[in-house]
Structures are given as C-alpha cells and as structure tokens.
Amino acid sequence: MTTTVVAGNPKPGSRTLDAANRLAESLTGSAPDHIVDVIELGPGLLGWGDAKVKAAVETVASSDLVVFASPTFKATYTGVLKLFLDQFATGDGLRDVTAVPLMLGAGPAHAMAPDLLLKPVLVELGAVCPLPGLYLIDSTYTEDTRISDYTERWRSALPVKGSGS
Amino acid sequence: MTTTVVAGNPKPGSRTLDAANRLAESLTGSAPDHIVDVIELGPGLLGWGDAKVKAAVETVASSDLVVFASPTFKATYTGVLKLFLDQFATGDGLRDVTAVPLMLGAGPAHAMAPDLLLKPVLVELGAVCPLPGLYLIDSTYTEDTRISDYTERWRSALPVKGSGS
Amino acid sequence: MTTTVVAGNPKPGSRTLDAANRLAESLTGSAPDHIVDVIELGPGLLGWGDAKVKAAVETVASSDLVVFASPTFKATYTGVLKLFLDQFATGDGLRDVTAVPLMLGAGPAHAMAPDLLLKPVLVELGAVCPLPGLYLIDSTYTEDTRISDYTERWRSALPVKGSGS
Amino acid sequence: MTTTVVAGNPKPGSRTLDAANRLAESLTGSAPDHIVDVIELGPGLLGWGDAKVKAAVETVASSDLVVFASPTFKATYTGVLKLFLDQFATGDGLRDVTAVPLMLGAGPAHAMAPDLLLKPVLVELGAVCPLPGLYLIDSTYTEDTRISDYTERWRSALPVKGSGS
C-alpha cells in the first residue's frame, strides 16, 4: 500500500504537515511513502503543465491512501491546497484513492470544515472518503489523543488491501 | 448482509422510496430486507420514545447497508427525514452502518445537496459513507442509467462483507 | 416594523425560544410582535393545509424581520424547524422578509452551522439575509455578551425601514 | 459609491471577469470603478506582503460593493480566488463592504456553490451579503436574462447609500 501526505500550508514544513504525517502513520503503522508540501511546488501552481506540479499530481493519483491536510483560513481550507486540487481531473483525478480530510485550527469553532468543505472537493475528484474528516487544534494535537482515538474508531472503515477496488 | 431503505417523503409510497429500493437492489443484487417509509411512523416522530419510531431506529441501526433517501425540499433534504435522523444517538447511532445518501429533484440545480447536506448528517451519526451521494431527476430515474452507472462506478467502494468492521 | 420569532425545538418554551426573543429584542429595541413555537403546531406539521400551520406561515411571511432559531441536532438545525420551513413556497415564501439565522449548541464545535446550513434554506425561500448567522452556547447565552456584541456589530446591516424593499 | 469586481480565474481576461463586470453594471447602473483580475497579481499571491497584492486588497476593502466571481472548479470556487481571499483579515477584512458572490459553470449541477461555499468565506471576512449568490452558465450568460432578472429581483436588497452603515 502506498501512502502519501499532502499539506497545503503557505509555510513549508508546517505543523499541518507534521500532523498529517502523524495521522498517516497512525492509520497505517508506518511513515508515509511520499510527502507533497504544496507550497514548495512554487509558482507553477498558478498555471497548468508545470513539470514539478504534474509529478506531484501523479504521485498522489497513484497512491492508495492520501491524507489531505490544511490549516483553517477564513473558516475553510487554504487557497494553496485548492490550487493543487484544481490540477486534478474532475471525477477521475483521485480514482481508486482513499482520501482522508484533515484540518487544523486555532480553536474549535471550525470543526465542521473538514466534512462540509474539504471532503466534497475530494469526492468531486473521484476519491473514496469512508472516514469522517478530522479536525485538530494546532496547539495541542501533539499532546492530546485525538489522532489515536480517531484511528481506533475509524481504521476498520479503511478498505482492506487486496479485497476491494 | 442486512439492507434497509429509509425514505423521507411526506407522501407515503413515493417515487423517493421507489428510487431507494432500486438503488439498494442495484448495489446488493437483491431487494432490501427492510423498508422505513418515515411518514408512516406518524406523529410519534414529533416527540421521543414512541414505540414504532424506536423499532424503526433499531432496524436501521442494526443494518449493514442503508440507503437514506429524500426528495429535495428548499434545496435540501426534508424535515420529515431529519425528524427521523434526530431520533438516533449522535456519534454512535449509525455505528457500523454503511450509509448511502440519495436525493431526488425536479431538475439538476440541487445536485450538490446529497454530498454537502445529507451526507454530513449521516457522518455525524457515526455511519461510514464511502460512496458519493447520488442525485436523481425524479421524472427520468426509471429510464435513465444513473443508478446502474453509479453502481458500476462505486460498488467496489462498499465494505467487503466479513473483512472490515 | 413587524418582528417575529420562530423556534424549532421539540420542547415547547425552550431556551432556543428564549434566546430568539432576546436576539429580536436586542436587534429592534422591543419584544417580538409574534412568536411561533413550532412544536406547538402539532401533527399538522406532517402534512399540508393544516389551518394552524397556515396561519403561522402567513404570520411569518408578512413580517419584516424574523429570527429563525434552532438547537443543534446532529450538527445542523432540527427536523422540527425544517418541517415548518418546508411549508413555505420556494423562492417567494419569505419574499421581503429579512431573516436572521440563530442556532444554539452545547459546545463550540458546530459554530459554522448557522451560515453553512440554516441560512441557505432561508435564502432558498427568498429571504434577505444580510447578517451572518449567530451561534450561541446554550448554557451561557444569558450571561455572556454574544447577543449584544452581535447587535452592535451588525445592526447597521439591517434594512432601514422605509428606504429599501 | 465605489464598486469593484474581483475575478478568480487562472486565465486573465476571462468570461468570469466579463460576467462580473456585467453584473456590477447591472446592479449599479455604471461600470465598476476597479477591477482585480486576481491571476495578474502573480506569484506574490503565494506569500504575504507583496505590494501589488496589498494594493489590490486595499482597493477591495475600501469599496462599497464588490462582486466576487469565480468559475466552478471541482464543484467550488478556484484556488486562485481563495489565495486572494486568504490575504484579507478574518472578521474585518471586508467590514462595511457589501459583497455579491458570483460563479459560472458549464452546466447547472453546481448551482448551489455560490450560497453554500463562496458566500460563507465572504461572511467570515466580515462582509455584508444581503443578496443570494448568482450562478451563471458560462456559455449562455451573454444571451440569457439571468443577470437582469437577478438585478430586478434583488437590487432593492442592496444597502441604500447614506442610510445604513
């Protein structure tokens, strides 16, 4: 199984990326195979056909499990993450990918954003999203038990490798 | 595997119910085991503890696969369906249930409602929702191929019986 | 100016209704002219054409300002409130009505529900919704300053009587 | 009254921008005072503090009426538009601005996106959004009467200059 983490924070090497890595490792038992720190793809994100961007899209599209992570900006995911998602084909860009929406915020008020706002974009790209979105508080996620609680509650809803699609 | 259909149309025996039956049969290969035509539960829906309502909740909660179907009223699911969903426990009421959101409308303008509005309620009740919501046109669903196309595209994303949860 | 409060709590005389009254009074300087405690309309809500329900719909439709209030059930408004909203005509049922969405919850996690979920239903009915949705914590709204802060910030966005529609 | 149009299409000089200009002119009776074709702001959008981006933010924030326009990408607004919106201050970035959400799509399926997805971002920035979102079909908006119908139905809900905030 190939696992990839996508983090859409305008700051490279962010807590968003760290939290996504932790979630991927918690769900699968090992570190992700690939990491896409979207902002490092640079200005090619603003157009179409950039080689680095295309390679990142292909890495994601050929993964089995992808954690899509964003900080909460203006009560939803970032423009940086959406720029990257805009590069995928509608309906098929994430075909056969199991996608997990993850968002981090400073407080609890935006806890509905992963399921109401981020997940529908992943569904539109053809991903399978069997798990609820996860929302973490950015100042406490390294100490609280939200990630392990989520894994315990939801891991069984991930497709069993070799049995499904 | 136990399959149940829930239809939240104020009119009993509606096209909503018919479409839900067709979808359940298309996804599983056989007619649903149980049917909950919500409006037939009557005024007990307006309070708590009604015996018929409780029995219907238990039927749904102990199913493996449930199609939740609604016509589109005011650009979202009906009050009748929501009354019934309000009877389930938050977080656990649909634990271990795979839920499929289905909505019917007179035209295409409300096609986003199943994923943006109905699915999040099912997720809040603890259901696993691996498939995208399905939106059907109420005047053509018996003749078009939307249900069979959906089944072909998405059936593999349903949990494999005996392997998952 | 005619002001009405609509509360969609399955329990009559709820805190939802109390909070809506307080908000209406804060926004206008006087108690609401009419109160619709939806659950008191009874089983007529489950069908069409009930005289009490129709009278309540007409009261609301002929108001200038209406606070629509709901507790948070399953991360959104109640089935009881939606049953009542389903009685209005799509597109025109709230024409020339300024509507304010209000929701109460036990904690902060569902703060996005008024704007993402309740307001769009009011918009679909043709209401003017110039103010953001308000979300209150049901255990503290009588003591905190959320209602007065909201009024101070947003009152100027209400239509000026006699100048607009 | 100062009117500004913001278009978030990755292609400069797009139909999105044209439609936004037409809507602004229809609502106000004259061409917009300012146009922000977001993509022309370039790579400065990917960070913070770029002078051109800051100037565009100030132009928008000091306008009375702003049409925010986007094509529909992946069933919602573009990453390009969201990049620009991420540059505004939460809660106050659009204070005293009346904002109108406009989206264009190839077909009718995404008609709910302006009210469910774009408007909440504008509300989070503190804008007043009294009008429903408008969704146009990109191949017919120059010939159909959607813009003029919308203006006729909703113009009276715009704040009357000098009377409100």
pLDDT (tens digit, 9 = 90+) per residue, C13-29? 999 999 999 999 999 99
* pLDDT reported for residue C160: 75
CA distance B137 to chain D (A): 12
- SS3 of residue D55 by DSSP: helix
Structure tokens at B9: 């149309």
Of the partner residues A116, A128, A156, the one whose CB lies closest to the CB of residue B130: A128
A157 touches chain B (CB under 8 A): yes
pLDDT in tens, chain D (165 residues): 999 999 999 999 999 999 999 999 999 999 999 999 999 999 999 999 999 999 999 999 999 999 999 999 999 999 999 999 999 999 999 999 999 999 999 999 999 999 999 999 999 999 999 999 999 999 999 999 999 999 999 999 999 764 443
Question: Is residue C108 within 8 angstroms of chain A, CB to CB?
Answer: yes
Q: How far apart are CA B2 and CA D85, in angstroms?
A: 47
Contacts made by residues B138-145, CB under 8 angstroms, sequence distance 24+: B138/B15, B138/B16, B138/B19, B138/B71, B138/B104, B138/B105, B138/B106, B139/B106, B141/B15, B141/B19, B141/B22, B141/B104, B142/B18, B142/B22
The pLDDT, as a whole number, for residue C163 is 42
Q: Cα–Cα distance between A48 and D83 in angstroms, integer?
A: 16
Domains of chain D: 3-149 (3.40.50.360)
- The answer, yes or no, to whether residue A163 has pLDDT greater than 70, is no
Question: In this complex, how many residue pairs, one in chain A and one in chain C, have their CB atoms less than 8 Å apart?
Answer: 26
**Yes or no, beta carbons of B120 and A116 under 8 Å apart:** yes
Which residues in chain D are closer than 8 Å to B111, comparing Cβ atoms? Answer: 108-110, 112
State whether residue B140 sits within 8 Å of chain A by CB: no
Q: How far apart are CA B128 and CA B98, in angstroms?
A: 5
Q: What is the strand order of the sheet B34-37 is part of?
A: B34-37, B3-7, B65-71, B98-105, B134-137
Number of H helices, E strands in chain C: 6, 5
Which of A39, A48, A76 minimises the CB distance to D46? A39
pTM above 0.95, yes or no: yes
Chain A nearest-CA distance from D8, in A, is 11
Which residues of chain B, if any, have pLDDT below 50? 162-165
- Three-state SS at B98: strand
Average pLDDT, whole number, for chain B?
Answer: 96
Query: How close D43 comes to chain C (CA, Å)?
Result: 31
Per-residue pLDDT reduced to its tens digit, A82-126: 999 999 999 999 999 999 999 999 999 999 999 999 999 999 999
Average pLDDT value for residue range A28-45: 98
Give me chain A's average pLDDT, please: 96
Residues 6+ apart with CB under 8 A from D34: D2, D3, D4, D5, D59, D60, D63
Least CB-CB distance to B82: which of C42, C82, C124? Answer: C82
Mutation to test the D interface, candidates A38, A74, A110, most D Cβ within 10 Å: A74
| A73 neighbourhood in chain C, CB within 8 Å | none
Q: Which chain A residue lies closest to B163 (C-alpha atoms)?
A: A160
By Cβ distance, the residue of A75, A107, A112 closest to C110 is A112
Q: Say which amino acid occupies C155.
A: R
Tokens 């009050």 locate to B79
List chains adjacent to chain B, taking adjacency as at least 3 C-beta pairs closer than 8 Å: A, C, D
Q: Nearest residue of D to residue C124 by CA position?
A: D132
Assign A153 a pLDDT band (cuts: 50, 70, 90): very high
- Nearest CB partner across the interface for D116, out of B107, B109, B116: B116
Pairwise CA distance, residues C48 & B71, whole Å: 16
pLDDT (tens, 9 = 90+) of chain C, 165 residues, equals 999 999 999 999 999 999 999 999 999 999 999 999 999 999 999 999 999 999 999 999 999 999 999 999 999 999 999 999 999 999 999 999 999 999 999 999 999 999 999 999 999 999 999 999 999 999 999 999 999 999 999 999 999 764 443
> Residue type for D83, please?
L
Question: Between the CA of residue C163 and those of B83, B150, D12, D145, D157, what are the distances in Å?
Answer: 40, 52, 39, 27, 10
SS3 C6: strand
B52, B41 Cβ separation under 8 angstroms: yes
Residue-level pLDDT at D64: 98
Q: Which helix (H) or strand (E) holds B34?
A: strand B34-37
- Give dist(CA C51, CA C56) in Å, integer: 9
- Of B121, B108, B19, nearest to B67 by C-alpha is B19
Q: What is the pLDDT of residue B152?
A: 98
Distance CA(A37)–CA(A25), nearest Å, equals 17
Q: Which of C7, C145, C125 is nearest to C71 (CA)?
A: C7
Report the pLDDT value the prediction gives residue B164, as an integer from 0 to 100: 40
| Residue-level pLDDT at D112 | 98
Residue C94's region, left for phi above 0, alpha for psi from -120 to 50, else beta, is alpha
Beta-carbon contacts of residue B58 (< 8 Å; ≥ 6 apart): none
Q: Which residues pair with D98 in a beta bridge?
A: D65, D128
- Nearest C-alpha of chain A: how many angstroms from D43? 6
Residue of C nearest to D159 (CA): C159
Contacts of A108 in chain C (CB under 8 A): 107-109, 111
